[in-house]
Amino acid sequence: MNGESMDNRNPPMHSAVSLKDIRQEIDALDDQLLQLLSRRAGFAEQVAEIKQAAGEVSCFYRPEREVEVLQRAAENNPGPLSDAAITRFFREVMSECLALEQPLRVAFLGPMGTFSQQAAYKHFGQAIAARPVATLDEIFREVASETSQYGVVPVENSTEGSITQTLDGFIHADVLIAGEVQIRIHHNLMALSTDQTAIREVFSHPQSLAQCRLWLERHLPGIRCTEVSSNAEAARRASQTPGTAAIAGVAAAAHYGLAILAANIEDEPDNTTRFLVIGRSPVGPTGHDKTSLLLATRNHPGALASVLEPFARLGIGLSKIESRPSRRVVWDYLFFIDVEGHQDDPLLARALKELADKVTLFKVLGSYPRAIDHSD
């Protein structure tokens, strides 16, 4: 076989692109991104000016608009970045643009380093005026008094169920649910010392201790477990008390300078906590909504079934129903119900109208977008 035929079979390869060339392309793209981000921020400032001229001065945050942007970004994502990465990026862009006028004041269960703080940042982005407070009741008061524009409260855990203090907060507080966010909960054992055998006491929130019960029995049998107000408070105490440890998230370990002795010690690998975002303003429909209700039924057989009948007849899904003592009369209960859809949707509006005539107490706690959860 002659040389010419060999060349036809194996044509010469194009010269490889150098690392320097690729970096120059990346630099050029970064310059374009900077210009586009600056243009977007400029338009955000114009939107704020238009809203101010129309009399909107207290808060420019619109949950329904944010959901629209994030959903659109995920739907148009060509890859290779994941939908989770894209939505995180756009959320931070919107957070920073909103903060150009005034950062949102967001209250959450403190101190710094709690899962509640993680939920607040996941929902609103990092460019907020974070306000850690000591109790769940204080979050409701902060929002009701407009000291904070929004608050983030845990409402249920996939392992331990509902957080009753949060449900009770909705009974009296003049707030509305504006959104929800879900956080995968990973618990870690952390301490000042890396010697696990030196631990004599473990601090954590009651729910976290319950979620790690089997691990603690297996790896730290007989060790005293002390309940505190939050996981971050547990980390703070462990950072000041030799011979103790805390169960908390990685953010708390970093914030309080603790070493992680054992990671992901939760008994259930899919352990997830759902948080609600509370505010004062109603949220418009997005097409992917939930509505939360608080009601009390008449005390006679079949009362609850009668209340739920319009939802079944109209094909409206219920995603949660929870009862709590009303504290008005012995064995009298309030019901917290989550239904699919927005209260302005025609079918749901019809069902709510029928329901209101059958109960002794009726309160729409809010219609809000369902959690965006693009997992990596």
Q: What is the CA radius of gyration of the chain?
A: 26
Q: So what's the architecture of 188-262 in CATH?
A: 3-Layer(aba) Sandwich (3.40)
- Candidates 60, 115, 124, 275; catalytic one: 275
CATH architecture of 282-369: 2-Layer Sandwich (3.30)
Tell me the DSSP string of 109-175. Answer: ESSTT-HHHHHHHHHH-S-SEEEEES-HHHHHHHHHTTSSSEEEEEEEETTTEE-HHHHHHHHH---
Q: Which residue has the higher pLDDT, 328 or 101?
A: 101
Residues of each domain in the chain carrying CATH 1.20.59.10 = 26-99
User: Model-level pTM?
Assistant: 0.84
Fold classification of 105-184 (topology level): D-Maltodextrin-Binding Protein; domain 2 (3.40.190)
159 is catalytic: no
Phi/psi of residue 259, nearest 5 degrees = -90, 135
pLDDT at 55 > cutoff 80 = no
Question: 111-169, pLDDT tens digit by residue?
Answer: 888 889 999 999 999 999 999 999 999 999 999 999 999 999 999 988 888 888 899 99
Instruction: Report pLDDT digits (tens) over 195-240.
Output: 999 999 999 999 899 999 999 999 999 999 999 988 999 999 999 9
Catalytic residue chosen out of the listed positions 87, 159, 244, 273: 273
Per-residue pLDDT at 175? 97
In the chain, list all ranges with CATH 3.40.190.10: 105-184, 188-262
Decide: 242 and 193 in contact? Cβ < 8 Å.
Answer: yes
Percent residues over pLDDT 90 in the chain: 70
87 counts as catalytic: no
Mean pLDDT of the chain: 89
Q: Which CATH number fits domain 26-99: 3.60.130.10, 1.10.1060.10, 1.20.59.10, 3.40.47.10?
A: 1.20.59.10
